[in-house]
A and B are shown apart, each in its own frame.
Chain A
């Protein structure tokens, strides 16, 4: 085994996985070429693809607090919904410009996240879970009550998203919408990636692994949690705004427990703490759901439930977790056969 300090191990050490190397790997580039390919190969499915990306972005924002800071939230849709309604209300009042609506939505959602972060920084896991749930449910109810503003159960209709950059109109086929969503996801992802590799990101992982020790070494744990929660809320709000702008409609279910729970399922399915897990999970879940729903309009939920159970049982840490463990096993196998001769004596 080499003791050279700058040599990279032949395989990522246990715990560090795909996407966590600082340099842009080949596979990462390949990953982002896939959605571009989809644009050309599946022009009839762009609306589904946009929704997969939006769900992926939302799950990514959940990954920030779940996979990296260790906070399990069942009410994250609160921020998604806030972002959606902000973008929606701006559009209904005549300000349909997509990019400014997106930024406004993210800012407002971030503020809401900032305020609610103080409710969740204390307490242990189950308490936090229930508080996030309560916040989500309360916001849902508030939106229902404020039906003169939000449209209540009827939803906010009459939205018109203006042309992107004043040139590209949002059409029935969903081409502009798809490229818009893809662009935003790419930018957001780069942002998150930068963050995760920075000292900030490392301190988050520290908090997740052992909060007490982080306190002991003097890391500003509370402040970190507030910061990451605010950021995650802003990102979720951006996803909500994208959803509102591309479908030109906002319903109460944007704030619902269902949406929070599906994001959680998608994230855990793909693998939390892997950044890409969010997109892998949302793709797998929504494509599977769409495929099954076509076969069985009434009973697809059964097969999805079984599929989720199987993956949860056999694939530790979701799809990417399983893949990274498999990769490690294979690499260890090859290293074992190669290293048997090369390993220095005990």
Chain B
């Protein structure tokens, strides 16, 4: 005889209620258990002895590699410090935004209200940063941007601090370099979305001010699988060089393959681009097709400095050797370093948002990328932009720096 609970409808609702209740309870315990093993220790509650950092980044979907890189960079820094800052433990609460702004906003609200984090960090994508900024203002929480590169993000809240880069910041020196090195006309090819439009506009502005000419400008759909027709158009116009901006990752590889197959190099057209095209994680799959491409960016894995060696070793230790650290990992590393510097400056006691932001302003770091400063007025990053060329070293390809433009600010501010 089966004992009935009245009707099976009651069973259904009990089931739903059970799922809801158990998920809420266990997710509280799951949060502390999910803490990464290296460099951090779980804490029962947020006390003044523990620094809590909420990491908001995509770990699934098309942007999964961004989250992996940023988290790797953060953990690498914590590893070099033994997991503590001035004896205080660091707890990293990792949240997958999946790249969707309202998910991110919900997670940020949870981090602020339920987990009482001291800092919000991560922000691989601009829309997520834009969506969370008002929350940071309302809750007075410092928000450390470790990757997103749109200029206007730092204006959205007085609590936003950036340690990564802005797109105009790395594009302008490229245009200057091109004009100085005898390139007089350029075809512009960018992905058809807001950052692409920004890159195109900045390049055109700087290049034409230096006496060059942008002969034509094409926009490529964002998830375009095949660059062949666009490369053909560039070839037909016969410019001296083609300026390329595509989002870091698969689009860069697709472009290089098409350029190689269509013989862009043989036609005498140089490829100049922002570092997104040949970023360290994706440069190996491009192979010989990428040789000779000139790019400008703020970080290259081939940068020679003791800090970079320490960073790369620590990254390999925490994230394995499957992933080569790229500029996003450095964003994570330096962001964490900046947070640590601020915590040291503020001393013991609960972190006050306003004092933290004041401490960030004017902060100077020697990063694996080179010298870095957070501007006191704009809270944006000021750094050296390097001009690099792709070369093969042994089995792998690298962006080798050969010229630099120090202390570059975001041109718009």
Residues on A lying within 8 angstroms of B by beta carbon are 18, 27, 30-31, 34, 38, 42, 44-45, 47-48, 51, 141, 144-145, 147, 151-155, 157-158, 172-174, 243, 247-249, 251-253, 258, 280, 283-284, 287-288, 290-291, 293-301, 319-320, 323, 326-327, 330
Contact = CB atoms under 8 A, between A and B. Distances in A.
B44 interface: no
Contact of A249 (B9, B68, B101, B113): B101
Contact of B194 (A47, A154, A247, A320): A154
A294 B31 contact: yes
A18 B8 contact: no
B152 to A, nearest CB: 8
Interface of B: 4, 7-9, 11-13, 16-17, 19-20, 23-24, 26-27, 30-31, 34, 59-60, 64, 67-68, 94-96, 99-102, 105-106, 109-110, 112-114, 126-127, 130-131, 133-135, 138-139, 150, 152, 156, 192-195, 197, 221-222
Contact of B113 (A172, A243, A295): A172
B173 to A, nearest CB: 23
Contact of B130 (A31, A157, A293, A319): A157
Contacts of B100: 251, 253, 258
Contact of B13 (A30, A51, A253, A299): A30
Contact of A294 (B30, B101, B135): B30
A44 B105 contact: no
A247 B101 contact: yes
B59 A298 contact: yes
Could you tell me the dominant secondary structure of chain A's interface residues? helix
Nearest to B108: A47
B12 A323 contact: yes
Interface centre among A30, A252, A288, A293 (most CB of B within 10 A): A293
Nearest to A259: B100
A290 B23 contact: yes
Contacts of B64: 298
A283 B130 CA distance: 27
A147 B219 CA distance: 14
Contacts of A157: 130-131, 133-134, 156
B194 A152 contact: yes
A145 B27 CA distance: 40
Contacts, number: 149
Contact of B27 (A243, A291, A319): A291
Nearest to A152: B194
B9 A323 contact: yes
Contacts of B197: 147, 152
A253 B101 contact: yes
Contacts of A34: 13, 17
Contact of B127 (A48, A155, A293, A327): A155
A152 to B, nearest CB: 4
A248 B100 CA distance: 14
A301 B9 contact: no
Contacts of B192: 144-145
Contacts of A147: 193-194, 197
A251 B194 contact: no
A284 B16 contact: yes
Nearest to A50: B106
A16 to B, nearest CB: 14
Given A287-B19, A287-B23, A295-B30, A155 B131 contact: yes
A51 B102 contact: yes
B12 A247 contact: no
B138 A297 contact: no
B135 to A, nearest CB: 7
Contacts of B20: 38, 283, 287
Contacts of A258: 100
A239 B156 CA distance: 26
16 contacts: A44-B110, A51-B106, A147-B193, A157-B134, A248-B134, A249-B102, A251-B127, A252-B127, A253-B101, A288-B19, A294-B31, A297-B59, A298-B60, A298-B68, A323-B9, A330-B7
A294 B27 contact: yes
In the A-B complex, list the 6 residue pairs whose CB atoms are closest, starting with the nearest: A291-B23, A155-B127, A249-B131, A152-B194, A327-B8, A157-B130
A13 to B, nearest CB: 17
A248 B130 CA distance: 10
Given A153-B193, A297-B94, 4 more contacts: A248-B134, A249-B105, A252-B127, A293-B95
Interface centre among A288, A290, A295, A297 (most CB of B within 10 A): A297
A172 B135 contact: yes
Given A18-B9, A247-B105, A153 B127 contact: yes
A144 B127 contact: no
B22 to A, nearest CB: 8
Contacts of B95: 293, 297
A144 B31 CA distance: 36
Contacts of B127: 153-155, 249, 251-253
A30 B13 CA distance: 9
A319 B106 contact: no
Nearest to B64: A298
Contact of A327 (B7, B13, B222): B7
Contacts of B105: 47, 247, 249
A136 to B, nearest CB: 15
Contacts of B195: 153
Contacts of A295: 27, 30, 34
Nearest to B132: A249
Contacts of A42: 24
Contacts of B4: 330
Nearest to A301: B60
Contact of A152 (B34, B60, B193): B193
A157 B195 CA distance: 16
Nearest to A327: B8
A287 B152 CA distance: 34
A45 B24 contact: yes
